[in-house]
Chain A
Amino acid sequence: MIRGRSPVVRSAIRAASPLALLVAAFLFFAGHNQPGGGFAAGLVIGAVVALRTVAGIGRPQDATRWFAVGTALVSVVALAPLLGGEPLLDQVIVSETVPLLGKVKSGSALVFDAGVTAIVVGLFVAVFDGLDADELGRDEVQV
């Protein structure tokens, strides 16, 4: 429907995508102390995936890969403490002074959150894969 009809929308989405990804990155890192976090970041990236699907421009294709990466990250963070004799999901917090940014404090929860983000994005890719084949593909046949 929108595909192939509105170059304006298409270009706008194309231009907005990197900015949206920047917003996602901000939300992701802000999450520890302010509103945001891995889930919210995943939603923003998901919205980008959705918009690009509508506009018919390139987007991530393989949902399985996102799931695999996400699940792997989450499981590693969850299970790694067991090797050291710590309880499941025990957090490691690192505090480091980095040039430009100043003092940065982070923990293994960040990796866990990254896994959550990947899984949420994977979910969107999977859903829009399904919708794409179902609805948009048919439009293409008709238009």
Chain B
Amino acid sequence: MSHLVGVVAVLSLPNPRPAFVVALAAPLVSAAWAASKLSGGEVDTARLDWVEGLDLAFSFRVGPLGALLAVLVSGIGVLIFVYGHGYFGGGDRRGFAATLLAFSGSMLGLVWADDVWTLFLFWEATSVTSFLLVGTKSTDSTAVTAARRALLVTVAGGLVLLAGLLVLVDVAGTATLSEMGPVTGDQATVAAVLVLVGAFTKSAQLPFHVWLPGAMAAPTPVSAYLHSATMVKAGIVLIGVMHPVLGAVDIWSGLGVTVGLLTMFWGAIGALRHADAKLVLAWGTVSQLGLMTAMMSLGSGKAIFAAVSLVVAHAVFKAALFMAVGEIDIRTGSRDLRSLSGLRASMPVAFWVMVFAGLSMAGVPPLLGFPAKEAAIEASLNESGASGDLILAGVTIGSVLTVAYTTRLVLALFSDKGGEPTEVAPFRWAAAAPSVLLSVLGVVGYVLAPSVTDWVVPAAATLETKSAGYALLRWPGLDSTAFWISMGIVAGGAIIGAAAARHSSPPETVGANNVDRLVDRTLDLAKWITGRVQHGSLPIYLVVMALAASLAVIPFLGSIDADQLHAWDRPLQAGMGTTVVAAAIAVAVIRSRIGAALALGVVGLGVSALFLIQGAPDLALTQLLVETVIVVGFVIGLGGLTTQFPANGFVWRSVRIGTAVLAGAAVTAALLASAENTPSNREALVAVAVDEGGGNNLVNVILTDLRALDTLGEVVVLVVAAMGVLALSRADTARGGGAPLSDDVRKGRR
């Protein structure tokens, strides 16, 4: 809620300078509030009914997990705003700050949601806002393509998730997450797969990871935020909150762990191949997300505990790493591992931040990443059988590679390449302070591991009760298998990384191009179809519409009651009807435009008279007025046209006559089919009208009171359509410069 206020406040700021300072107030408030909930253990709920009959509500529930994630989202959010202030230096960034704030608010809504539809709404909100954030540099075609790719992949995943949630709600019998019990069976399996695919797209798991490295086109504050604490964690959180419900489904952990470990491996390979420091971090994020996905979907008490710990540790160190790389980027103008030189001396702050955060990512004591990684290894050790061995092997190999790319990143980024050291712009405290704070937090978190445990354990326990007994160990002891595996990982990874730091070649991007190509093909196809369907000929549009509408009558032909038909109620109707028909035929036959317009007027007035005879003065009045206005319209319109209609060929003329006859027959049939066969409930309506509507004119009371909702809908449609017309006519003027059309074009107009 405070975020909404914040967005409005930032957008309405008169002066762009303090945008980030004002913006950080909102996450500061929610971070403080969430922090106060961390150790309390009580659960706050809030519910706002939306559509009662459909059981749609905005429902939130802030338990230990919600509080922990909110502290991450908002706490790192505050630091991001500080960092953004330093990163951008100057310029008007109100829109950017507001979008970032909106994104942050969506993320909070997502982690607090207690209703699957609320969750879904905020899920989509993060997709849309992150699209805007990734595409911040809207003039850069790379950024635009990357933003489009991110949007399409995550929104496609959102649709899959929606399908999964629909199935889930059907099988679970409720949309409230806290009321859902474990479900199994075929339907639950379908839901599980769909939900997992949704989570995979958001958390950049194979093969949907393609959007994440491209999203590096965003400004670094966005990358640091999206890819540490927020966006990409949404999928992990989703797997977590769905664990109590879908965790019992057979395919759940198998699919999640397989995809997660493959992603961890492939992401680490990607991180080793790239030479752009930010891309290395991006691929490293993909890899880390793989580990978290695997742990979260593995589902044992220890694994869930490890996953939540990793979420916390990763948010802290990855944000710091991104910020440091961003700082290097803005102060040197480059992120290329191969060209940057001498930074260790010229940027000592960034260097130490990278070292500490990097060691945390590699899982080296005394940093927070170490106990979290230990927990993951122990969770893998606890799994028995061949699958357990595979998981352990996967986690170990992935971790070795993680250490390797971290080592390579730090060594290559800060090594002296010989030659001149890279030039460095002046130090900006706002761009450096947040990353220093975060890297220090890595150490503090390790020292205060028992406190961190106190926050993580209740959070993990809300997902899996068996997680309650575990703790983050600062020093597992020399007789712990996991510790030796861990040390082996660090040693092996360091050697590979040191070797890799010497050779690096720019790799081809795999996969991302396929997404772009698919998008381009789809757009080409759409253009082709549009070209075929929207040919621009008004008569053909009308013919197609009339034919389609006529066919729609066919199903109702059966309900025509022949006994009800009679020629007329009053003889006057016959005379008037004949006049109308004669005038209508005249419209079609007369070659002179003005004559046809007059004949059309006769048709309208005749129909108006028919209404009057039938006892509907309201309709008659309206019809009369419409006719009057149409006459004026003709006066204006005919001025620009030839006096005679152009001649038509035989075929085209026949088609038009045929369509007209068919449409006429269809309208007649439709009227006959919808004629009221039962006695009218007019008396009842009159009574209600006078009583409730307070008016004697039944038609108007229906319009403005009894069925006012219909009227409301109609006028809104009217406004929307009219605004569209207005926009189109203006667009035409803008493009054509208001130049008169050439004469032959005008003559060709019908």
Contact = CB atoms under 8 A, between A and B. Distances in A.
A138 B640 contact: yes
Contacts of A137: 738
A57 interface: no
B738 A133 contact: yes
A50 B629 contact: yes
A25 interface: no
B622, B693, B701, B711 — most chain A CB neighbours (10 Å): B711
B150 to A, nearest CB: 35
A104 to B, nearest CB: 12
Nearest to A106: B694
A46 B405 CA distance: 72
B696 A78 contact: no
A53 B636 contact: yes
Contacts of A91: 692-694, 705, 708
A64 B729 CA distance: 14
Interface residues of B toward A: which range? 35 or more
Interface stretch (B99-107, B118-126, B416-424, B719-727): B719-727
B703 A130 contact: no
A6 B695 CA distance: 45
B719 A71 contact: yes
A89 interface: yes
B697 A32 contact: yes
B411 to A, nearest CB: 62
Interface in A30-62: 31-40, 43-44, 46-47, 50-51, 53-54
User: DSSP class of A's interface residues: helix, strand, loop or mixed?
Assistant: helix
A68 to B, nearest CB: 9
B609 to A, nearest CB: 14
Interface in A55-106: 63-64, 67, 70-71, 74, 78, 88-89, 91, 93, 105
In the A-B complex, the 3 residue pairs with the smallest Cβ-Cβ separation, listed nearest first, are A43-B625, A130-B729, A32-B695
B625 A50 contact: no
B748 interface: no
A50 B633 contact: yes
B14 interface: no
Given A54-B635, A133-B733, A35 B722 contact: no
A138 B738 CA distance: 9
Contacts of B719: 67, 70-71, 119, 122
B578 interface: no
Nearest to B709: A89
Contacts of A93: 694
Contact of A47 (B629, B640, B704, B718): B629
Contacts of B729: 129-130, 133-134
B636 A35 contact: no
B95 interface: no
A21 interface: no
A46 B719 CA distance: 15
A128 B637 CA distance: 10
Question: Which one of B633, B637, B715 has the greatest number of beta carbons of chain A within 10 Å?
Answer: B715
Contact of A32 (B640, B701, B718): B701
Contacts of A34: 696-697
Given A32-B696, A131-B637, A135-B640, A47 B625 contact: yes
6 contacts: A40-B625, A53-B632, A74-B712, A119-B719, A127-B722, A131-B636
B740 interface: yes
Interface residues of A, number: 59
A84 B313 CA distance: 50
Most chain A CB inside 10 Å of its own CB: which residue of B708, B709, B725: B708
B632 A47 contact: yes
Contact of A126 (B629, B635, B726, B738): B726
B475 to A, nearest CB: 61
A120 to B, nearest CB: 8
B700 interface: yes
B8 interface: no
Task: State the majority secondary structure of interface residues on B.
Answer: helix
A78 B637 contact: no
Nearest to B640: A135
Given A113-B704, A119-B718, A107 B635 contact: no
Contacts of B628: 43, 47
Contacts of A138: 640, 740-741
B581 interface: no
A69 to B, nearest CB: 11
Nearest to A142: B740
B708 A112 contact: yes
Given A74-B715, A130-B725, A139-B640, A89 B626 contact: no
Contacts of A31: 697, 700
Nearest to A68: B719
Contacts of B495: none
Contacts of A2: 635
Contact of A43 (B622, B696, B701): B622
Contacts of A50: 629, 632-633, 636
Contacts of A32: 694-697, 700-701
Contacts of A136: 636, 639
B523 interface: no
B632 A126 contact: no
A139 B708 contact: no
A127 B712 contact: no
B611 to A, nearest CB: 11
A109 B473 CA distance: 71
B714 to A, nearest CB: 9
A1 B692 CA distance: 51
Given A64-B723, A71-B715, A107-B694, 7 more contacts: A37-B697, A43-B626, A47-B629, A71-B716, A122-B722, A126-B725, A128-B636
A15 interface: no
B618 interface: yes
Contacts of B722: 63, 67, 122-123, 126-127
B622 to A, nearest CB: 6
A88 B709 contact: yes
B715 A116 contact: yes
A109 B629 contact: no
A37 B726 contact: no
B492 interface: no
Which of B621, B626, B635, B699: most chain A CB closer than 10 A?
B621
Contact of B708 (A36, A63, A109, A120): A109
Contacts of B705: 89, 91, 107, 109
A52 to B, nearest CB: 10
Contact of A35 (B618, B633, B712, B723): B618
A64 B726 contact: yes
Most chain A C-beta atoms within 10 Å of own C-beta, residue among B622, B632, B716, B718: B632
Contacts of A123: 718, 722
Give the interface centre of B617, B635, B636, B711 by most chain A CB atoms within 10 Å.
Answer: B636
B726 to A, nearest CB: 5
A95 B633 CA distance: 41
